[in-house]
Chains A and B, each alone.
Chain A
Amino acid sequence: MRSNKIGWLLLAPTLTILGLFGIVPFLYVLYVAFHQWNPFGANPGMIYNGANNFRRLVVDGEFLTSIYYTALFAFFAVVSEIILGYLLAQLFTKDFPGKAVFRTIHTLPLIVAPIVVGSVWRLMTTPSIGIIPYYLKYWFGYDLNIGSNATAAFALTVIMDIWHWTPLVTLTLLAAIVSLPKDPFEQAQIDGANRWQIFWHITLPMIRPAILATVFIRLMDALRTVDEVWMLTGGGPGAATRYLGLHIWKVVFPKTDYGYGSAISIIVLYLTLVMCWLLYVGLVSPRAKKRII
């Protein structure tokens, strides 16, 4: 009994903080999602409207489009980051001249605030003054204008995200790779396994938990990205980069439609949980013919 009390006592601060800053706001957003609430409108009070906000969002073209583009963005960004991050992590396990300098420079984007990343990329991609459109025109004759070319704007937001967050993936995968035991690799080499076989049958299964944790973190981040994209493209042109976070921001702040914005937030949370759960089930959860309890 005594050890239980000490355990609960030690957990109390964490549970209090989680409750205050996680569960209470979530319940409040859920409560608001079932109301019509425009605090700056003619009728500033909350009016209960049942599931009308959810009815509205399942036929809202803008919202459904933003889900589509967000899913595309998250897919391209996370997959590219994992592949690039793994390759860089493997590179950092080898010795080469200037490794320490390169590793430091490579990690620098991580310490830059997203809003700054967005503004720097905006400066670099603005036609007529940006370095990227200048060199694309000079070398390839390509006119880059993210204000009018939707595909280019989308691609640039993905590239910006990759540039910003690949170092995080590299660091987590590097930590996983250097902590692997040497024996299985030596045994595989003695048995005549080639590089691909060693990667596929030994390295990948052993670092799978680290990959999965990284994918979860990056996926959740990608699904709620706002500030970088807001600075770079403002959600345009059209709806090409109007990702879910930006869409919620536009509904809640300029339109002050708090009830509808809360309903969208709940659905975004739901989609994030479903995606992470499906990933977990697909990659980690044992296939079985049995169940616990």
Chain B
Amino acid sequence: MDHPIDLEQADDEARVVEASLKRSGFLPIVTNWFDRLFMGIYLFVALELLWMRFLEQSIPLTVCHVIAIALGALIVWKG
């Protein structure tokens, strides 16, 4: 049994897949929102620890909180 292939439909599907591939996101891996939240928390902790080790003497930790939260939010929404 031969089923004729609808080339127009196949092209449409390919365009949809192509469009979904080009969705925004700067991370080089496939992620869902929970992955990105996880990464945000990893980075938050890492930044806080590094800040306490190297920068806290000159710049207060509050600055790090703001940067880390902003970075986390950026990763969750745009990553």
| Residues of chain A having any CB pair with chain B under 8 Å | 51, 54-55, 58-59, 267, 270, 273-274, 277, 281, 285-293
Q: How far is the CA of A266 from the CA of B14 in the complex (A)?
A: 47
Cβ of B16 to closest chain A Cβ, rounded Å: 12
Contacts of B33 in A (CB 8 A): 293
Q: Interface 1/0s, chain B 33-53, versus A by CB < 8 A?
A: 100001000100110110011
Known contacts: A54-B52, A290-B22, A291-B23. The answer to whether A285 contacts B30 by CB under 8 A is: yes
Q: CB-CB < 8 A to B32: which residues of A? A: 291-293
Which residues of B are found within 8 Å of A277, using beta-carbon distances? 38, 42
Instruction: Using CB atoms, name the residue of chain A closest to B26.
Output: A291
Chain B residues engaging chain A, CB cutoff 8 angstroms: 20-23, 25, 27-33, 38, 42, 45-46, 48-49, 52-53, 56, 61, 79
In the complex, the chain A residue whose C-beta lies closest to that of B61 is: A51
Residues of A within 8 A of B53 (CB): 58-59
Q: Is the CB of A285 within 8 A of B21?
A: no
CB-CB under 8 A from B46, the residues of chain A are: 274
Which residues of the other chain, B, contact A293 by a CB distance below 8 angstroms? 32-33
Nearest residue (CB) in B for A291 is B25
CB distance from B69 to the nearest CB of A (A): 15
Q: Which residues of A contact B45 (CB under 8 A)?
A: 270
Contact: B20 with A290, CB < 8 Å? yes
Shortest beta-carbon distance, B22 to chain A, in Å?
7
Q: For B28, give its contact among A59, A273, A287 (CB under 8 Å).
A: A287
Q: Are B52 and A274 in contact (CB under 8 A)?
A: no
- Knowing A54-B52, A58-B53, A277-B38, say if A289 contacts B29 (CB, 8 Å): no
Name the distance in Å between B61's Cβ and chain A's nearest Cβ: 7
Contacts of A291 in B (CB 8 A): 23, 25, 27, 30-32, 79
* Chain A: minimal CB distance from B6 (Å): 25
11 contacts between A and B (CB under 8 A): A51-B52, A54-B48, A54-B49, A55-B56, A58-B52, A286-B29, A287-B30, A288-B30, A290-B25, A291-B27, A293-B33
CB closest residue in chain A, given B50: A58
Give the most central of A51, A267, A281, A290: most B CB within 10 Å: A290
Q: Which residues of B contact A58 (CB under 8 A)?
A: 49, 52-53
Q: Which 9 A-B pairs have the closest CB atoms?
A: A58-B53, A288-B30, A291-B25, A290-B21, A292-B32, A285-B29, A286-B30, A58-B52, A289-B21
Residues of B within 8 A of A287 (CB): 28-30
Apart from A51-B48, A285-B30, A288-B29: 20 A-B pairs, beta carbons within 8 A: A54-B49, A55-B56, A58-B49, A58-B53, A59-B53, A267-B49, A270-B42, A273-B42, A288-B28, A288-B30, A289-B22, A290-B20, A290-B23, A290-B30, A291-B23, A291-B31, A291-B79, A292-B31, A292-B32, A293-B32
Residues of chain A lying within 8 A (CB to CB) of residue B21: 288-290
In the bound complex, CA of A267 to CA of B53 (Å): 14
**Contact between chains at B52 and A55 (CB < 8 Å):** yes
Smallest beta-carbon distance B47→chain A, Å: 12
- Which A residue's beta carbon lies closest to that of B29? A285
Residues of B within 8 A of A289 (CB): 21-22
